[in-house]
Structure 1
Amino acid sequence: MSRNASYTQEYLDEIAHLDGDTAGRRAARTHMEHSTAIYHGRVVDSCYVPRLYDKQTYRRLKDIAETTHRILEKVMREYLSNPAYRSVYELDPRLVDLILLPRGYDALLPFSRVDVFLNEDTMDAAFCEFNADGSSGMNENREITASIANTEAFRAFSAKHVVSTCNEELFDGWVSEFLHIYDTYEHRVSHPHVAIVDFLESAITEEFKIFAKLFAERGVECSVYDVRDLRFDGEHLIGVKAFYGRDNAIIDAAWRRSVTNDIMEHWDTSQPLIEAVRAQKVALIGSFAGHLVHDKQIFQVLFKPETQALLTPEENAFVQETVPFTAFLNESEVNLDEVKATRERWIIKPTDAYGSKDVYAGRDCDDDEWAHIIDAHANGAAGAPFIVQRYCTPHRTLTLPLYGDEADITRESALAYNNLLGLYVYNGRFTGVFSRLGPEPVICKKTRGVTAATIWVDDDEAE
């Protein structure tokens, strides 16, 4: 059993000794309201109590993250090199074309975040989803850590323990890894202009600015562009209009933060980026092959005999232990009547989406609502494929949420919230945790989900 719960109780005791530390709670929320932690135009909600992880937890999360990366790379490598294997996926032919475009550098999966439910008493784990394209949250973690760093409760706890964060690894660590990957690019130039590219209406633009400044500190110019503001002249990919940085600039390397389904939705206006990659005139760090990880049918693919043949016995056992049953929500693959009758066991999701869009947990519904949801999404009825997945009960921990209302300050008792841990992996190396909590079965911002600072406690390996 980890010491996480005892650390959390100790932290809550420090708050109690400070008569609730109302000044600290107000200061933390005020910091957030003036911070760069903005999601779709709104300041993110946070926790006053950080997630406090011990050495045992760090080691377990590192093993989960890096084992998962090795398995996913094997799937990607086989898909790229073996045409016979590609039938394990059901993909739009345009997506297949994107996935097979040349990469030109060594890293198969440069940047990912694997979201996992961890029972912090038993260390058993079950995955929620894998994220490659567009993985984010680093800036939320940074700002929320800063919001509590100077509070009396945090100082009192820190005086009794050795504490550390993952902020440096998540920011400077990614810039270092990006530049290392670019150094392996076949057509690299000595002084590259780096671009961060996304569809900006759905982007975390404040986070982009921070990374652009960190690149600049390394002597590398970095600009931010909307994918639709790129032009390809046959020889160069050009950022025509910069959101941040330089207009009409040649792009040598692009960090793709745009998820592939947004590329598909904006197919015609994404062609300059696609054609530049096809012509090998830009290093796209985060190739379109990352879609093989992003698409939630990966959970089903991992159980197929063709995939099991690629993995070691230990890796197959890991999949069995951590990946919940997953199938397309089609009558040919699952008994839809059984899914309706046992709603608390299931959650349904689109195979290719993000931000918890169109995710439904049976526990959130009554029987009639659930039956209607199944009918509306099964067998392609929603116009896009959905999966059904075994619902994993999250581990609950005590916290004090900060939503920006008076209850933030007057709340005397901590609330037991569900946990979801996003494990960042930079080119195979575990670098940190995106710690999210919420009161509902689906943990996300629209269900009053909050983000907590990630703090390693008394762990020399995490320093």
Structure 2
Amino acid sequence: MSYNADYTREYFAIMESLQGDVPGRRAAYEYLQGSTAIVHHQVVAASFVPRLFDAQTYRIMKETAETAHRILVKVIEHYLADPAYRRAFDFDPRLEELILLPRGYDAVLPFARVDTFLDEDDGRIKFCEFNADGSSGMNENREITTSVAQSKTFEEFANRHHVEGCELFESWVDKFLDIYATYERRVENPRIAICDYLENGVVDEFHIYAGLFRQRGVECVVADVRDLRFDGEVLRDGEGRQVDAIWRRCVTNDVIDHWDESQQLIDAVRAAKVALIGSFAGHIVHDKQLFSVLFDERTTAFLDADEISFVEETVPLTAFLDDDHVNLPQIRENRCEWIIKPTDHYGADDVYAGESVTQEEWERLIDRFANGRAGHPFIVQRYIRPFKTETLPPDTGIDALPDDEVPFDPRPYNNLNGLYLYDGEFMGVFSRLGPQPTISKDKQGMTAATIWVGRG
């Protein structure tokens, strides 16, 4: 049993002793409104109450994340090496082409975030999804931590306990440069581009990382994939300047959507004229059909006994939502046991938990998405009920309320813990919470700062 709930109760007690710490909450809200915690032109919703995790929770998260990474690396390596194993997956031929492009450096999966549901009472953990190079949230965590750390509530709690946040910026710059140092065609002073389709990217976050690279004396720009140009020898950005290495932030389904406009980048990678960190093989991790493939005998054949047990304990039952793979009438009749998702989208797009809709709505969703009717495949997954913790909802509108009308009522919210991995090393947590069965920004979801308590 963890001390997380005790720490949270103590945090609320400190807040209550400060009459709700309304000045601290106002200051945190005001800070965020002027911050770079922006996703798709909106300031993110945040809680004033951080997620407070004890040393035991840290150990569970670290072991889970790093074990998952080792398994995922094995899967990627076998996919690249074994044409027969590739048939375990159902990928668009263009995706397979991208995945098989040369890498040229050591790190198989440089950057990942594995999203989990942790029962903080008994320590059991289940995976929600795996994310590779499109993973974000690092800047949300940084800015929200800064906003709450200025408060008297946090200051008093920190006086009582040894506390640490998650450092996710300088550590990634270090790791990226270490990875590039293993690149077969590395140059002495590389020019780096952080690349995405910028209307889809968390651009403020990109610019913060770019600034940190420049502080190290490494030239770095933010670039749109569609602006890249390749002449057969040199890849150039929209300003016509050479790019030696790319931190790929674009997810592969966006590459497919912009296929013709992305050929300059693809040609440069194919010709091994640019280091693409991470490679398109990260798509194997991102695609949710992997959850099913992990149980396939073609996968268990190269996992050891401990890894097989780990998969069985942590990966929920997952299958394609079609008549060939599941009993659709059973899925229809037992909606509260299931959640349906597209295999390869992001941002909780078209994700529906059965218990959040009526039976009539569930029937319509099955009709809409089963057997490829949506034009792309969906999976059905055993629904994991998230662990609830007491928190405060976002202080939206606090600037318009008098002190005595600022609400101070703890509410139980569901938790989703995103565990960051930099080349296989656990680095921190993206803590998201929400009042609904599906935890996402469009379902009243919010982000909380992640704070380790007593880890040292």
How does the TM-score come out when normalised to structure 1? 0.97
The amino acid across from 2:233 in the alignment is E
Q: Which of 430, 445, 452 is residue 448 of structure 2 equivalent to?
A: 452
Establish whether residue 386 from structure 1 lines up as the match of residue 384 from structure 2.
no
The unaligned stretches of length 5 or more in structure 1 are 241-246
Residue by residue over 1:87-135, the C-alpha shift from the partner in whole angstroms, topping out at 9 and shown as x without a partner, is 1100011111110000000010000000000000101011000000311
Name the SS for the 1:251 alignment partner.
coil
Please give the alpha-carbon distance, in whole angstroms, between the structure 1 residues aligned to 2:325 and 2:397.
Answer: 46
The amino acid across from 1:122 in the alignment is D
Aligned match of 1:277 = 269
Larger deviation, residues 56-65 vs 406-415: 406-415
Aligned match of 1:208 = 206
Please give the alpha-carbon distance, in whole angstroms, between the structure 2 residues aligned to 1:52 and 1:443.
Answer: 19
Aligned match of 1:109 = 109
Name the SS for the 2:199 alignment partner.
helix
Aligned match of 2:182 = 184
Name the SS for the 2:160 alignment partner.
coil
Q: Note if contact 2:353-2:437 (Cα within 8 Å) is conserved in structure 1.
A: yes
> What does residue range 93-132 of structure 1 map to in structure 2 within 5 Å?
93-132=93-132
Please give the alpha-carbon distance, in whole angstroms, between the structure 2 residues aligned to 1:81 and 1:203.
Answer: 32
Q: Which of 408, 415, 418 is residue 419 of structure 1 equivalent to?
A: 415
Please give the alpha-carbon distance, in whole angstroms, between the structure 1 residues aligned to 2:91 and 2:291.
Answer: 15
Residue by residue over 1:42-87, the C-alpha shift from the partner in whole angstroms, topping out at 9 and shown as x without a partner, is 0001011100000000000000000000000000000000111111
> What does residue range 64-463 of structure 1 map to in structure 2 within 5 Å?
64-167=64-167, 170-240=168-238, 247-406=239-398, 410-460=406-456
The unaligned stretches of length 5 or more in structure 2 are none
The amino acid across from 1:3 in the alignment is Y
Please give the alpha-carbon distance, in whole angstroms, between the structure 2 residues aligned to 1:107 and 1:81.
Answer: 16
Q: Note if contact 1:417-1:438 (Cα within 8 Å) is conserved in structure 2.
A: yes
Please give the alpha-carbon distance, in whole angstroms, between the structure 2 residues aligned to 1:30 and 1:125.
Answer: 35
Please give the alpha-carbon distance, in whole angstroms, between the structure 1 residues aligned to 2:349 and 2:235.
Answer: 32
Cα shift at 1:412: 2.2
Name the SS for the 1:397 alignment partner.
strand
Please give the alpha-carbon distance, in whole angstroms, between the structure 2 residues aligned to 1:336 and 1:133.
Answer: 33
Please give the alpha-carbon distance, in whole angstroms, between the structure 2 residues aligned to 1:153 and 1:52.
Answer: 13
Residue by residue over 1:243-292, the C-alpha shift from the partner in whole angstroms, topping out at 9 and shown as x without a partner, is xxxx2110000000000000000000000000000000000001000000
Q: Note if contact 1:133-1:260 (Cα within 8 Å) is conserved in structure 2.
A: no
Please give the alpha-carbon distance, in whole angstroms, between the structure 1 residues aligned to 2:408 and 2:15.
Answer: 10
Please give the alpha-carbon distance, in whole angstroms, between the structure 2 residues aligned to 1:29 and 1:390.
Answer: 37
Q: Note if contact 2:25-2:395 (Cα within 8 Å) is conserved in structure 1.
A: no
Name the SS for the 1:88 alignment partner.
coil
Cα shift at 1:405: 2.1
Please give the alpha-carbon distance, in whole angstroms, between the structure 2 residues aligned to 1:342 and 1:28.
Answer: 43
Please give the alpha-carbon distance, in whole angstroms, between the structure 1 residues aligned to 2:95 and 2:325.
Answer: 23
Cα shift at 1:403: 4.3
Please give the alpha-carbon distance, in whole angstroms, between the structure 2 residues aligned to 1:366 and 1:75.
Answer: 38
Name the SS for the 2:242 alignment partner.
strand
Please give the alpha-carbon distance, in whole angstroms, between the structure 2 residues aligned to 1:214 and 1:133.
Answer: 19
Please give the alpha-carbon distance, in whole angstroms, between the structure 2 residues aligned to 1:403 and 1:386.
Answer: 36
Residue by residue over 1:327-386, the C-alpha shift from the partner in whole angstroms, topping out at 9 and shown as x without a partner, is 000011111111111000100000000000010110111001000000100000000000
Please give the alpha-carbon distance, in whole angstroms, between the structure 1 residues aligned to 2:202 and 2:440.
Answer: 16
Cα shift at 1:321: 0.4
Q: Note if contact 1:163-1:458 (Cα within 8 Å) is conserved in structure 2.
A: yes
Residue by residue over 1:181-200, the C-alpha shift from the partner in whole angstroms, topping out at 9 and shown as x without a partner, is 00000000000000000000
Aligned match of 1:243 = none
Please give the alpha-carbon distance, in whole angstroms, between the structure 1 residues aligned to 2:133 and 2:264.
Answer: 19
Name the SS for the 2:265 alignment partner.
helix
Residue by residue over 1:168-188, the C-alpha shift from the partner in whole angstroms, topping out at 9 and shown as x without a partner, is xx1001000000000000000
Aligned match of 1:244 = none
Name the SS for the 1:202 alignment partner.
coil
Please give the alpha-carbon distance, in whole angstroms, between the structure 1 residues aligned to 2:150 and 2:340.
Answer: 41
Q: Note if contact 1:113-1:422 (Cα within 8 Å) is conserved in structure 2.
A: yes
Name the SS for the 1:200 alignment partner.
coil
Residue by residue over 1:139-195, the C-alpha shift from the partner in whole angstroms, topping out at 9 and shown as x without a partner, is 00000000011101000100000001112xx10010000000000000000000000
Please give the alpha-carbon distance, in whole angstroms, between the structure 2 residues aligned to 1:55 and 1:395.
Answer: 18
The amino acid across from 1:97 in the alignment is E
Please give the alpha-carbon distance, in whole angstroms, between the structure 2 residues aligned to 1:412 and 1:184.
Answer: 52
Please give the alpha-carbon distance, in whole angstroms, between the structure 2 residues aligned to 1:405 and 1:417.
Answer: 20
Name the SS for the 1:174 alignment partner.
helix
Q: Note if contact 1:177-1:427 (Cα within 8 Å) is conserved in structure 2.
A: yes
Please give the alpha-carbon distance, in whole angstroms, between the structure 1 residues aligned to 2:73 and 2:137.
Answer: 23
Aligned match of 1:57 = 57
The amino acid across from 1:423 in the alignment is L
- After superposition, the Cα gap between the structure-2 partners of 1:74 and 1:220, relative to the gap in structure 1 and judged at 3 Å, is same
Please give the alpha-carbon distance, in whole angstroms, between the structure 1 residues aligned to 2:395 and 2:38.
Answer: 14
How does the TM-score come out when normalised to structure 2? 0.98
Name the SS for the 2:169 alignment partner.
helix
Please give the alpha-carbon distance, in whole angstroms, between the structure 1 residues aligned to 2:249 and 2:427.
Answer: 18
Please give the alpha-carbon distance, in whole angstroms, between the structure 1 residues aligned to 2:145 and 2:185.
Answer: 39
Please give the alpha-carbon distance, in whole angstroms, between the structure 2 residues aligned to 1:352 and 1:319.
Answer: 21
Please give the alpha-carbon distance, in whole angstroms, between the structure 2 residues aligned to 1:51 and 1:283.
Answer: 37
Aligned match of 1:17 = 17
